[in-house]
Amino acid sequence: MGKVGERTLARAPRRLRVWAGMIALGLILLLAWDFIAHSLELGWQGLSRDLSGESRLYWPDAPVATVAIFAHMIGGAVITTLALVQLAGPVRRRWPVLHRWSGRVLVAAALLTGAAGLIYIGLRGTIGGLDMSVAFALYGICVMVAAGQAVRFARTGQFARHRRWGLRLAILALGSWIYRMQYALWFMATGGIWVESDFSGAFDLVNIWAFYVPYLIGLELWFRVEARRPEPVWTG
Ligand code: HEM
């Protein structure tokens, strides 16, 4: 076998990983699309017309809370989509300028989503009461911290740390969709036991944490596995 053939063979598993990664990202985008579109549409409706009587999140007498919650939906739709773009290795390698600009928009939208969500929680609380408010507020803080750290380490050229914070941000950005997916899967599996309309059921109380905490822990464990290897296991 010639040198070119050997090199091709050596690169095959990596190529396979890249393709598998791209297919997985495409699949997630497809699955998340309805939620992204719903979030964009509801966000825009809430900012552009009176939704009194149509949405319980619209408060005619509390314009700051109303603007915050609907603006956060638009920011949220942007970060759910751009997290997937940022994860695509070929995009990062072939179009670094696109990666940088998409990253800047992602960070700005993440800060907006987190801050607006926190403002709404501070002013109105959530439908699930204190438990949900605490879990969602911590989620918002995590989103903002991850966004800030990812951009900070990119600017100072600390790319290993930038990558780790970028991955944390991506997991968090997908969290809101994961929250709904876990409800959908739970309903498919059990018909919806331990789910209450006021979000006080056992499943509700687990899911307010389970849409982001276990995934963040899993990612940290993954980083530890990677640290024992000579090069990152997954670079997309
Ligand atoms: C990651 C992207 C996010 C997207 C796409 C998103 C989208 C949405 C959507 C569409 C709703 C309305 C649900 C409905 O139709 O009733 C909602 C509700 C809400 N979101 Fe987000 N969100 C995101 C992130 C966040 C973050 C980071 C926070 C916390 C700071 C947050 C806090 C809230 C709160 C407090 C509510 C209202 C809960 C209630 O019903 O009382 N969201 N979100």
Report helix, strand or coil for 54. coil
Q: What are the structure tokens assigned to 194, written together?
A: 């331990």
Question: Ligand 1 pocket test: which of 54, 73, 105 has the largest number of ligand atoms within 8 Å of its C-beta?
Answer: 73
- Identify whether the C-beta of residue 76 lies closer than 8 Å to the C-beta of residue 113: yes
CB of 139 closer than 6 A to ligand 1? yes
Q: Is 2 left (phi over 0), alpha (psi -120 to 50) or beta?
A: beta
Q: How far is the CA of 73 from the centre of ligand 1 (A)?
A: 6
Per-residue pLDDT of the chain (236 residues; tens, 9 = 90+): 455 555 555 556 888 889 999 999 999 999 999 999 999 999 999 999 999 999 999 999 999 999 999 999 999 999 999 999 999 999 999 999 999 999 999 999 999 999 999 999 999 999 999 999 999 999 999 999 999 999 999 999 999 999 999 999 999 999 999 999 999 999 999 999 999 999 999 999 999 999 999 999 999 999 999 998 866 555 54
Orientation of helix 129-155 relative to helix 96-124, angle to 10°: 150
Amino acid at 198: D
State the distance from the centre of ligand 1 to the C-alpha of 117, rounded, in angstroms: 7
* Residue 212 Cβ contacting ligand 1 at under 6 Å: no
118 lines ligand 1 (CB under 6 A): yes
Residue 71 Cβ inside 6 Å of ligand 1? The answer reads: no
Nearest CA to ligand 1 atom 3: 76
CA angle 139, 222, 147 (to 5 degrees): 35
Predicted local confidence at residue 197, as pLDDT: 95
> What's the one-letter identity of residue 80?
T
Give the predicted TM-score (pTM) of the model: 0.91
Listed in sequence order, the residues at least 6 apart from 208 whose beta carbon sits closer than 8 Å to its beta carbon are: 128, 131, 132, 135, 136, 199
